[in-house]
Structure 1
Amino acid sequence: MKKLVTIVLVLFTVCLNAQTNTDLLKHYEAYYKQMKLQGDVQGIVNAMTHLNVLQPSQARKDTLAYIYMSENQYRQAINTIGFEKNAADSDIALEVKAVSLKALKRPELAIGHFQEMFNRKPNAYLAYDLAELNMTVQNNTEIEKHINYGLANATDDMKKAFFETQQPYEVPLKSAFMYLNALNTFNKDRKNNIDAAVDILDAALKTAPNFNLIQLTKTELLRQKQALQAQEEQTKN
């Protein structure tokens, strides 16, 4: 008799817990929909977190991480889904890891995720990110490969935004690749390639006269050229 009572109590507890979880899931699903309607990002995060605790799924985790990334909360995004490379990662997870690690200034980790995104769906924008990141870690072979891809595949309607001025501005993506090409040319030989880099910058300015960063870079390169010439004159004398 005691054994029977124990079994009944266990079954009752299991059923009660199942019912409670079902009710909570319905509640947070409704709460999630309402927060989306209201545009309440923190409410969406809270709802998704509860749903993932009650009924864990990779899709929910990816979505939560994407919301964090969209709100510039990059560390929280990485803490949610990790930073490791995983061949089974969804496109969303890949984007979250790539963008978040880049924003957290971890180019050596971000490159692998951007490369996998590029392998799945190659495009000029991803090539720009890869060229820029590889320039940070001084991987010359990869820099040139992605710059060449971008110069060949960037179309006239593609734009790249820059934010070094108080008023952000856009330039043609191909002009942005020309800028990277000038930097890469200069970095190969900082003494003898100044003129070649400046020529590339001048060509880019013809397609993007508002490209402020090029003007700044050109001014600095010409300053360095004058300094080198002055040193050479002093050495001769």
Structure 2
Amino acid sequence: MKKIVFALIISVSFIGTAQTKTELQKHYEAFYNEMRVQGDVIGIINALTHLNVLSPSTERRDTLAYVYANDNQHMQALNTIGIEKNDTDSDLAVQVKAISLKALNQPKRALEQFEVLYSRHQNPYLAYELADLKIQTGEPNGALINIDYGIANATDDMKYAFYERQQPYEVPLKAAFLHLKGLVSYNLNKDNIDIALASINEALQLDPNFNLASLSKQALEARKNPPAAEAKEVAPTTGKKKKQ
């Protein structure tokens, strides 16, 4: 008799726990939907975290990581899904890893993730990210391959945003590629600055307000035609003594 009563108590306990879990899940699903309507990022993260504890799923985890990344909480995003290169990751997970690693100044690791995305969905925007990261990681020849593809395939309606000024701005994606081409040309051949300047001038023809290209042009022109005072300072390195 005692065994039967004990078994009944255990059964009722399991049923109660299951009902409580189901009710909690329904509650947080409704809470999640309401937070989305309100645009409350903190609430969305809270709801997804609870739902992922109650009923874990790859889709919920990836969505939570995306919400973190979209809110510039990149460390939290990577803590949610990791940083490893995994061919079985969803496109969303790879995208989160790529943009978060780039934002956290991890160009080599970010490049790995962008390569995975590019292998799945080749397009000019991903080609630009690859070219930019390859320049940062010392792969100018690899960057040129992506740049040539981007110049050939970027359409007039494609734009790219820059944030080096206080006020962000957009330029034609093709202009952004031409600017990168100028930088790579200079890195590959510092003795012929005119080649680099030609690409950057072409970028400025597409968008005269391209601030970053203007800054690069000024820097290259300064190297090509250094001020007289700077030239005097450089003279001693030739091994010749100045006349007294």
Q: Identify the TM-score tier after normalising by the shorter chain.
A: over 0.9
Corresponding residue for 1:74? 74
Measure how far apart 1:161 and its partner are: 1.5
Between the aligned partners of 1:125 and 1:12, the Cα distance in structure 2 is 57
Corresponding residue for 2:101? 101
The one-letter code sitting in structure 1 at the alignment partner of 2:83 is: F
Q: Summarize the alignment of residues 43-62 of structure 1 with structure 2, pairs less than 5 Å apart.
A: 43-62=43-62
The one-letter code sitting in structure 2 at the alignment partner of 1:202 is: N
Q: Is the 8 A contact 2:140 2:187 kept in 1?
A: no
> 1:227 is paired with a residue of what secondary structure?
coil
Measure how far apart 1:64 and its partner are: 0.6
| Cα shift readout 1:81-101 (whole Å, capped 9, x = no counterpart) | 111111111111111111111
Mark the CA change 1:188 to 1:20 in structure 2 (over 3 Å): closer, same or farther. same
> 2:225 is paired with a residue of what secondary structure?
helix
Corresponding residue for 1:220? 219
Identity, in percent, stands at 51
Between the aligned partners of 2:102 and 2:16, the Cα distance in structure 1 is 46
TM-score by length of 2: 0.91
Between the aligned partners of 1:200 and 1:207, the Cα distance in structure 2 is 11
Corresponding residue for 1:184? 184
Corresponding residue for 2:83? 83
Kindly report the root-mean-square deviation, in angstroms, between the aligned alpha carbons of the 2 structures.
1.9
Q: Summarize the alignment of residues 155-194 of structure 1 with structure 2, pairs less than 5 Å apart.
A: 155-190=155-190, 192-194=191-193
Measure how far apart 1:234 and its partner are: 8.2
Corresponding residue for 1:131? 131
Measure how far apart 1:166 and its partner are: 2.9
| Cα shift readout 1:130-173 (whole Å, capped 9, x = no counterpart) | 00011110112321111111011111111112222233222111
Mark the CA change 1:46 to 1:5 in structure 2 (over 3 Å): closer, same or farther. same
Mark the CA change 1:33 to 1:234 in structure 2 (over 3 Å): closer, same or farther. closer
The one-letter code sitting in structure 1 at the alignment partner of 2:78 is: I
Corresponding residue for 2:142? 142
Mark the CA change 1:170 to 1:95 in structure 2 (over 3 Å): closer, same or farther. same
Measure how far apart 1:228 and its partner are: 9.7
Structure 2, gaps ≥5 residues long: none
> 1:171 is paired with a residue of what secondary structure?
strand
Following superposition, which runs of at least 4 residues in structure 1 exceed 3 angstroms of deviation?
A: 227-237
Between the aligned partners of 1:10 and 1:74, the Cα distance in structure 2 is 44
Q: Is the 8 A contact 2:178 2:203 kept in 1?
A: yes
Corresponding residue for 2:206? 207
Corresponding residue for 1:4? 4
The one-letter code sitting in structure 2 at the alignment partner of 1:214 is: A
Between the aligned partners of 1:205 and 1:233, the Cα distance in structure 2 is 37
Between the aligned partners of 2:18 and 2:166, the Cα distance in structure 1 is 56
The one-letter code sitting in structure 2 at the alignment partner of 1:198 is: L
> 2:175 is paired with a residue of what secondary structure?
helix
Measure how far apart 1:4 and its partner are: 2.2
Measure how far apart 1:227 and its partner are: 3.5
The one-letter code sitting in structure 2 at the alignment partner of 1:120 is: R
The size of the alignment, in residue pairs, is 236
